[in-house]
Amino acid sequence: MTVHLKKLSVGAVSLDSLRAWQTKLVKAGHPIIHPTRNWPKRKDELLDGGSIYWIIKGQMQARQTIIDMIEVETYEGTRCGIVLDPHITPVWARRERIFQGWRYLEVADAPEDMPADAASGEALPAEMAQELRDLGLL
């Protein structure tokens, strides 16, 4: 059974800044690996189609599919490296309380992906989608 993680995107000020940072990694030939101190006990469920849901500025805004978990060496020692698909999928933004580390997110509690614009193939900007929801148009 699939489960997801939710995680604060430290350093990102917007979804675009998260994309830009990760695009630089990919262009430099590096995989996207998010190191974390603890290994998730529900690893098998995460690798069964799970994603990391990124919280930026207090709002859950996007997700990335988890591809693998590997050991990585950091200046702090050996850590769990969560290998992510480079594609970032925007989700319907919602407020989240701030916390340290990561938390499990059950499939039923995960926000839905934002629909892609049929003409451009890209999702609506999070700010625009929120305004449209506030107006009752989405």
Helix ranges, the chain (H): 15-27, 43-46, 126-134
Q: Average pLDDT per run of 10 along the chain, which is 138 residues long?
A: 94 92 94 93 96 94 96 91 96 89 95 71 65 68
Phi, psi at residue 17, to the nearest 5°? -70, -35
Q: Are 80 and 102 in contact (CB under 8 A)?
A: no
CA 88 to chain centroid, in Å, comes to: 7
**DSSP 8-class letter at 107:** G
- Of 116, 124, 70, 72, whose CA–CA distance to 93 is shortest? 124
With contact defined as beta carbons under 8 Å apart, do 92 and 111 qualify?
A: yes
**Which of 73, 62, 82 lies closest to 126, judged by CA?**
62
Amino acid (1-letter code) at residue 27: K
| Interval 106-120: pLDDT, tens | 999 999 998 876 335
Spatial CA neighbour of 91 closest among 71, 107, 75: 107
Model confidence, pTM: 0.83
Tell me the pLDDT tens digit for each residue of 59-80: 999 999 999 999 999 888 999 9
